[in-house]
Amino acid sequence: MAARSEAAYPVGWKNGRVASWLVTVDHKRIGILYIATSLVWFVAGGILALLMRTQLATPNEAFLTKNSYNEVLTMHGTTMIFLVVIPILAGFANFLVPLMIGARDMAFPRLNALSYWLFLLGGIILWLSWFAKGGTAHAGWWSYPTLSENLPFASPGHGQDYWILSIHVLTLSSLLGAINFIVTIHNMRAPGMTWMRMPLFVWSIETYAILLLLALPALSAAVTLLLLDRTVGTHFFIPSHGGNIVLYQHMFWFFGHPEVYIMVLPVFGMISEIIPVFARKPIFGYKAVAFSTIAIAFFSMLVWAHHMFTTGLPVGLDSFFMISSMVIAVPTGIKIFNWIATTWRGNLIFDTPMLFALGFIALFTMGGLSGIFLAAFPVDWQVNDSYYIVAHFHYVLFGGSAFGFFGGLYYWWPKMFGRTLDERLGKWHFWLLFVGFNLTFLPQHMLGLLGMVRRVYTYHQGGQWEAYNLVSSIGSGIMALATLVFLINVWRTNVLRKGIRAGNDPWLADTLEWYTTSPPPAHNFDSVPYVTSARPLRDLRRRLAEQPQ
């Protein structure tokens, strides 16, 4: 240190501890920024969920009622979807895609930084709306008009406008990111890495990016029309002036259903990376897993109106969307069977990433199967908009996406920071979350079938209603505890630096990101080996083992 000559080797302000993160265009740092920011909002959105579960723990509770409850439910949904699940997956993609394909960085590093900062800005706009005149948006995360219109007893005030602005900024962020991923994946793969040798996570990000490009403009258009209605006096969605509300539903769900797969396909990709490594086997049916990703993405563009079965569509349309929704279950089933087959005759090692991956399969299966009931539209007429739906999509989005990204965090943490998260705490995290999750959401299926509708701030029935609600609220407390364990683990590993130092490849994994150091240098690789299969690292290990010492 002392010997360093300032004049000969000037250290600019850009290299400062904080400033270097602010001006970074390194995909790894941007990825970590994405993930860290998303986790902050995960905690914030989780606190909102706890507020709601506290209110619903017993009948006729008065803890959080009326407009406040509607604000909290809207903010919880919007935050978890737009500020947690999508961006944390973008974070993983940022960190991993260039490393997995052996590239130096993303194709457009500055654009990449812009994506992140737009995401942060969009999130801040959304959360600033707590201070808006009239409070935050309170029409639910779909913001159906006319409830979201600037009408006296719908959504006057500016909360809804903040919401729209935030969505605009966030969609811009995601679109830029999507373009960047596609260009990177198409042009910057390592020598020898053909499409059929590409890691399955990269396949899933390619599909995720294409879906974002196709679906997001519909959302932007829908909220733009809503904004015009609210601010300049158009009436696209005001029926008394000739507008059509059902049009908004179509536009929203044309985005909204691909959105579901945007939030789960990259997680499928992570699971397809984790399970083979901890089963010490190749993925069972690489091509089937890759092509089923494409099939799911394709069909996800054709199922949107299954969110609208109670809108009163003609039976012909209902029938079409029932069949297309059922079709999508087939490639999803293929994936689940292929993952399970991957564990067959393996050497299964139950480190925390594997626990989360297996937990994902168990829970996502449940969410997928409850979806079949919803595809059959007469049954959907019965359970739609009840707590059954709430249970269903939390099995998909928490049991699926969140369990998946937690698995991903434990798996790639050593690559990101050079230290492994503590296994003991990790297992506590998993089991508390698994038990807490099922306690919270399993009873909600029953509540929905008993007739409890979603988005109500209270109910008056005792008996089973009260019992199931109470169990659900207790479960949510256990989930909070699990998250606390995770945060302690992160603190312990990264701040107290008690995490075990990881080598390049602590899990003996298959893909290129494990070829470089942990954490990787700014330029990622000094050299990239010629890729001869979908498992370049295993090939390398075998070649090393064959060499005479």
Which residues are known catalytic residues? Answer: 76, 105, 141, 173-174, 257, 259, 261, 272, 306-307, 332, 335, 454
Separation between Cα atoms, residue 386 and residue 382, nearest integer Å: 8
Q: Which of residues 241-280 bind another protein (CB under 8 A)?
A: 243-246, 279-280
x-marked contacts with another protein along 530-549 as a string, rule CB under 8 A: --------------------
Element holding 419 (H helix, E strand):
strand 419-420
The answer to whether residue 19 forms part of the interface with another protein (CB under 8 A) is no
For residue 509, how far is the Cα from the chain centroid? 24
Tokens of 14: 């850009």
- The residue among 115 and 249 lying less far from another protein, judged by its C-beta, is 249
Q: Which of residues 421-450 bind another protein (CB under 8 A)?
A: 427, 431, 434-435, 438, 442, 445-450
Closest among 124, 103, 105, 113 to 21, alpha carbons compared = 113
Q: Of the ranges 27-35, 263-271, 371-379, 511-519, which one interacts with another protein (CB under 8 A)?
A: 371-379
For residue 188, how far is the Cα from the chain centroid? 25
Residue 48, amino acid: L
The answer to whether residue 355 forms part of the interface with another protein (CB under 8 A) is yes
Which residues have a Cβ under 8 Å from the Cβ of 503 and sit 6 or more positions away? 518
For residue 521, how far is the Cα from the chain centroid? 27
Compute the least distance from the CB of residue 327 to another protein, in Å: 8
The answer to whether residue 288 forms part of the interface with another protein (CB under 8 A) is yes
Which residues have a Cβ under 8 Å from the Cβ of 463 and sit 6 or more positions away? none
Compute the least distance from the CB of residue 45 to another protein, in Å: 18
- The residue among 326 and 488 lying less far from another protein, judged by its C-beta, is 326
The answer to whether residue 485 forms part of the interface with another protein (CB under 8 A) is no
x-marked contacts with another protein along 384-413 as a string, rule CB under 8 A: xxx---------------------------
Separation between Cα atoms, residue 382 and residue 374, nearest integer Å: 9
Given a contact cutoff of 8 angstroms between Cβ atoms, the answer to whether 211 and 177 are in contact is: no
Q: Which of residues 454-483 bind another protein (CB under 8 A)?
A: 454-459, 464, 468
Q: Which of residues 154-173 bind another protein (CB under 8 A)?
A: 154
Compute the least distance from the CB of residue 83 to another protein, in Å: 21
The answer to whether residue 152 forms part of the interface with another protein (CB under 8 A) is yes
Backbone φ, ψ for residue 488 (5° rounding): -60, -40
Element holding 354 (H helix, E strand):
helix 352-375
Distances (CA, A) of 341 to 282, 289, 297: 10, 12, 23
Compute the least distance from the CB of residue 209 to another protein, in Å: 26
- The residue among 263 and 452 lying less far from another protein, judged by its C-beta, is 452
Q: Which of residues 307-336 bind another protein (CB under 8 A)?
A: 310-312, 315, 319, 322-323, 326-327, 329-330, 333-334, 336
**Residue 199, SS3?**
coil
The answer to whether residue 195 forms part of the interface with another protein (CB under 8 A) is no
Query: How many residues form the binding site for another protein (CB under 8 A)?
Result: 98
| Residue from 23, 131, 196, 239 in contact with another protein (CB under 8 A) | 239
Compute the least distance from the CB of residue 250 to another protein, in Å: 13
DSSP notation for 204-226: HHHHHHHHHHHHHHHHHHHHHHH
Which residues have a Cβ under 8 Å from the Cβ of 452 and sit 6 or more positions away? 386, 387, 459, 465
Separation between Cα atoms, residue 373 and residue 379, nearest integer Å: 6
| Residue from 59, 134, 140, 529 in contact with another protein (CB under 8 A) | 140
Q: Of the ranges 121-129, 203-211, 379-387, 408-416, which one interacts with another protein (CB under 8 A)?
A: 379-387
| Residue from 153, 316, 526, 544 in contact with another protein (CB under 8 A) | 153
Closest among 178, 176, 251 to 219, alpha carbons compared = 251
Compute the least distance from the CB of residue 99 to another protein, in Å: 21
Element holding 500 (H helix, E strand):
strand 500-501
**DSSP label of 512:** G
Q: Of the ranges 81-89, 91-99, 377-385, 517-525, which one interacts with another protein (CB under 8 A)?
A: 377-385
